[in-house]
Chain A
Amino acid sequence: MSSLFEIKELTKSYGERLILDRLSFEIERGECLVILGRSGSGKSVTLRQLNGLERPDSGSVLFDGVDITDLEEKDLYGVRRRVAMLFQSGALFDSMSVLDNIAYPVREHTDLDEHEVVEIVEQKLRLVDLEGVLDRMPADLSGGMRKRVALARSLALDPEVVLFDEPTTGLDPTTSATIARLIKSTQLELGVTCVVVTHDLSLARTTATKLAFLDSGRFRFWGTWSEADASDDTLLQDFLHGREHHDGNE
């Protein structure tokens, strides 16, 4: 069976700056791919190609065998209902309560009765260990709770894939560990394919079934954790151990 995502020769630049340089990779069903990389290396840009939020300059993205690269915005809707995204800031609608945030995609995309909608919302909130927050507004929640509500919202339509953009940035280590556990259980218990973009190494340790290291627009490393630990690439090793990197140019 073919991979869920097949990315071929993806190239993207902003102005003069080449961000992605003929990037090719595949994502298998049910795995958790973690993309590591320095700030500004193009992790978010890569992620945003996978549900068509941004278009590449050249190259292609195949999802479940279908080339989505040149699809019109409205033809991407089918893909986006199967590929959910969790944003760096959570991106909850701050004019809506927690209930309305999570219910929003359900109400708009299905014909369920209101009590069925509320049931779904409560079930998704239990998945992220939250209860009794239905009527709260996003502004009244802590950063960790906001992330969890956002995760619940992205799970609302039972997606096959969730794309996570820096899910732990700005959270304390304990809360980060909770988020990491929730991502892991999303992958294992719900069978959701996860793609996580981060520079949080402990998150990567807990969740990754496969690891990629993005540098200068290419994957400098691609493999499992044990392969990464055994790698003799000093740039990767320095990143994994939080050391400053010194090469000829610096």
Chain B
Amino acid sequence: MLRDLTRALAQLGEIAILTVRAFLALVKPPYELGLWVRQMEALGVRSLVVALISMLFTGMVLALQSAYALPELGVKYYVGTLVSKSLTRELAPVLTALIVGGRIGSGMTAELGTMKVTEQIDALRSMAFDPVKKLVAPRLAATLIMLPLLVILGNVVGIIGGLLVTVYQLNVAMGVYLNDVMGELTYGDVLSGLGKTVFFAYFIAIIACYNGLNARGGADGVGRATTNTVVGASISILISDYFLTKLFFIFES
């Protein structure tokens, strides 16, 4: 128990060091823009479709649930508010981070972990390269840029999902829904969601890279590291979500 605790604290320390080194590598020239773009492509391609489908259905479900949960209050005329606020503030950031995070995070860990156990990382170091600059920084940059973009698209698609259900199932005029969304959705809603997303992106990338770089013991070890990334990223997203929500409420009021 005590051993586990010290081990966990040591890991947090190592992650903190990796964070500092990765951000320093990001801001210090030469900028490896080519590597960033390649990572952004990989990340976008790997997760765009699944992220958008999830958000479309999340928006649809939100509309259904809210209308059926409280029918007597005439809630169906306010579905636009409900859908857009819950999506932008909470569901799009968290669900996208969880889905995409599991997907790209585990991909990153598997990739870096394989490089680690086949000595490719050591080979980089032995040729006078910094693996943090060459491998971690581009992945961090790509996640920090792409995840918020995915969330923005997810917001739009989710609101469209809500619209479809509102119009075709609840028989509310499209104008009512759209007016509601436009009238009630604020910059604060969208920005607080995106603010959280940036933190989620950091957690995903840094945990994935850390686990990859520290994988040991062949294919087995890489598998274990990958699982650790999915668990670690999900938990830190869900826990930090609570605190970030509180934090953004303070900022907004």
List residues 157-185 of chain A with CB under 8 A from any CB of chain B. 157
Complex-state Cα separation, A76 to B127, whole angstroms: 10
Q: Which of B118, B119, B122, B128 contacts A81 (CB 8 A)?
A: B128
On whether A89 and B125 interact (CB within 8 A), knowing A73-B130, A74-B130, the answer reads no
Count A-side interface residues using an 8 Å CB cutoff. Answer: 24
Bound: A78/B128 CA distance, A:
7
In the assembled complex, A93 has its CB within 8 A of some CB on chain B? yes
Contact with B128, one of A77, A91, A92, A93 (Cβ below 8 angstroms):
A77
B128 lies within 8 A of A87 (CB): no
Q: Write out, one digit per residue, whether chain B residues 115-143 have a CB within 8 A of any chain A CB (1) or not (0).
A: 10011101101111110000000000000
Which of A80, A89, A93 is the one whose CB lies under 8 Å from B126? A80
Within 8 A of A (CB), among B201-221: none
Q: Which A105-157 residues have C-beta < 8 A from chain B?
A: 105, 108-109, 157
Complex: how many Å from CA A157 to CA B126? Answer: 12
Does A85 contact B123, Cβ atoms closer than 8 Å?
yes
CB-nearest residue of chain B to A165: B119
Total number of B residues with any Cβ neighbor in A under 8 Å? 12
- Asked if A105 and B127 make an inter-chain contact with CB atoms under 8 angstroms apart, the answer reads yes
Residues of B within 8 A of A76 (CB): 128
Cα A80 to Cα B130 with chains together (Å): 12
CB distance from B43 to the nearest CB of A (A): 15
A85–B125 Cα gap in the complex (Å)? Answer: 10
Tell me which of B119, B122, B125, B127 has the highest count of chain A C-beta atoms within 10 A of its own C-beta. Answer: B127
Does A88 count as interface, using CB distance less than 8 angstroms? yes
Q: How far is the CA of A73 from the CA of B133 in the complex (A)?
A: 13
Chain A residues with CB below 8 A from B130, complex form? 73-74
**Nearest 7 CB-CB pairings of A with B:** A91-B123, A77-B128, A91-B119, A85-B126, A80-B128, A87-B119, A105-B127
List 23 A–B pairs whose Cβ atoms lie within 8 Å, in order of A's numbering.
A53-B126, A73-B125, A76-B128, A80-B125, A84-B126, A84-B127, A85-B122, A85-B123, A87-B119, A87-B122, A87-B123, A88-B119, A89-B118, A91-B123, A92-B123, A93-B115, A93-B120, A94-B120, A104-B127, A105-B127, A105-B128, A108-B129, A157-B127
Q: Which residues of B contact A (CB under 8 A)?
A: 115, 118-120, 122-123, 125-130
Known: A85-B122, A87-B123. 18 other contacts (CB 8 A): A51-B126, A53-B122, A53-B125, A77-B128, A80-B125, A80-B126, A80-B128, A81-B127, A84-B126, A87-B122, A87-B126, A88-B119, A89-B119, A91-B118, A91-B122, A94-B118, A104-B127, A108-B129
